[in-house]
A and B are shown apart, each in its own frame.
Chain A
């Protein structure tokens, strides 16, 4: 009985240890993947080599607000008003946090 309990506790502990980091890894991989959709025009990890602005190191709140303004049609754009509609406000916050954390 005691042994069985101990065995179960170990299993539970192992399960908990395994689930926590992998779930976390998936979240960060999913945000990294979303941010990578921007790289074609804004550069790898937001480091632009063209005239289109880079996103690396841009203030999170500022970037999130610009995206929401594009989405709402408040900020005029050639293309971003169409692309911004592809992301929920929550996804925009996550993408903005990702780029804010990148080195310029």
Chain B
């Protein structure tokens, strides 16, 4: 009997399937060789679910998500600037159906890594051979006492998860008097989307310049300097937005007085008309509860070959919740790339095949200076076996020379393609 490679792998897979799982009848699938549960259908979770099914249709994938639609954080600052609406950055989950991803709209409330089960808020449980946790971030409001209640949080918004808060912040800006101050607080790095706050300052300034030209944008940055695309953002603040945007480094937020919209800093109190605070944050709650946190009481350490937690076997972590590799930003683009490395590794592990020892990832971040002109930062990351982490390939990184419209078109094309790559 001679087998070609394809037949051989099918035979191997079928054999592994018998060992790995039983009782998967009635799923509407063909024979399956393993079950994967993914928690969170953002840039990383949805991509992982899609790519596992695309590359291995014999693996069953269940994707658990509490929201009914995907709302993109990238591009959401343009809703604040007024050139996009929430509908423009919203994508349905229907496209994942054609890959055979099973969507479950529910909240994952607990993980039992010994029984290999996820418990959902509805009370049911999902068994898995491999679990992928991609919960994004949760805010650490306990570090800002005045904001540590629901009423305060409805007045001083973060808008750092796109959705209702994006629209609510836009409404606050629209209601603000001309001559008012919009203050934005940025937490210490690492935080989600390093250039995002600076892009937001530009977008609000873009809106003010047209609608409320006497108003000011005040950036209160806990960091000692602009953390991303510094020269390009400074060029905007000293160019088209000169006199409108003020940047204050080393402005760590100690507390907030919600009644007077005052940010309490170490040496100063700053009163605003619209106060927007991005609170310090860490890995999403379900990652914390599952015991995956390894660094700074915030982030989940992983093996970069497989994205598997270094603490809990059989559980992989993706996206912003991970303890970032050197010079690796917490971005939607990066999250999507994490997912593909993880998808390939999970397939290999389930099928007892060797895991790729040379994974690669790209990051591309576009930031809109106004409604048309855009700047980018980009880098290529490869696995470094000696350091056991991803590092930037020498020479393979860079920025735009200056803001330009061509990259404005590319940025919107990027959004369309990454939304499709993640969800369709």
Q: Which residues of A contact B (CB under 8 A)?
A: 17, 21-26, 29-30, 32-34, 36-44, 48-52, 78-79, 81-87
Contacts and interface: CB of A to CB of B under 8 A. Distances in A.
A80 to B, nearest CB: 9
B397 A82 contact: yes
B356 A26 contact: yes
B421 A29 contact: no
Given A21-B5, A44-B420, A79-B376, A50 B348 contact: no
Nearest to B392: A86
Contacts of A79: 364, 376, 378, 398, 407, 410
A43 B24 CA distance: 33
Secondary structure type dominating chain A contacts: helix
Contacts of A49: 416-417, 420
Given A24-B5, A41-B418, A44-B421, A86 B382 contact: yes
Interface string B391-411: 001011110100010110110
Given A36-B51, A49-B416, A50-B412, 15 more contacts: A21-B5, A25-B5, A25-B353, A34-B360, A37-B361, A37-B362, A40-B362, A41-B414, A43-B420, A48-B417, A50-B416, A78-B376, A84-B396, A86-B393, A87-B360
A47 to B, nearest CB: 9
B302 interface: no
Contact of B360 (A21, A22, A33): A33
Nearest to A78: B407
Interface centre among A42, A78, A81 (most CB of B within 10 A): A78
27 contacts: A22-B354, A25-B5, A25-B353, A29-B344, A29-B347, A29-B348, A29-B356, A32-B344, A33-B344, A37-B360, A37-B362, A37-B380, A38-B362, A39-B340, A40-B336, A40-B337, A40-B364, A40-B417, A44-B54, A44-B420, A49-B417, A79-B398, A79-B407, A83-B396, A85-B380, A85-B395, A86-B379
A43 B344 contact: no
B417 A43 contact: yes
A24 to B, nearest CB: 6
A86 B362 contact: yes
Contacts of B379: 82, 86
Contact of B417 (A23, A52, A81, A84): A52
Contacts of A25: 5, 9, 353-354
B340 A50 contact: no
Contacts of B421: 39-40, 43-44
B340 to A, nearest CB: 4
Interface residues of B, number: 51
A71 B415 CA distance: 25
Contact of B396 (A30, A39, A51, A85): A85
B330 interface: no
A33 B356 contact: yes
Nearest to B347: A29
B385 to A, nearest CB: 14
A49 B415 CA distance: 10
Contacts of A36: 51, 340
A96 to B, nearest CB: 15
A40 B414 contact: yes
B358 interface: yes
A49 B333 CA distance: 17
B187 interface: no
Contacts of B333: 40
A10 B414 CA distance: 53
Nearest to B381: A86
B406 A78 contact: yes
A60 to B, nearest CB: 20
A22 B395 contact: no
B25 to A, nearest CB: 28
A48 B412 CA distance: 12
A100 B416 CA distance: 23
Given A33-B341, A37-B361, A41-B364, A78 B417 contact: no
Nearest to B352: A22
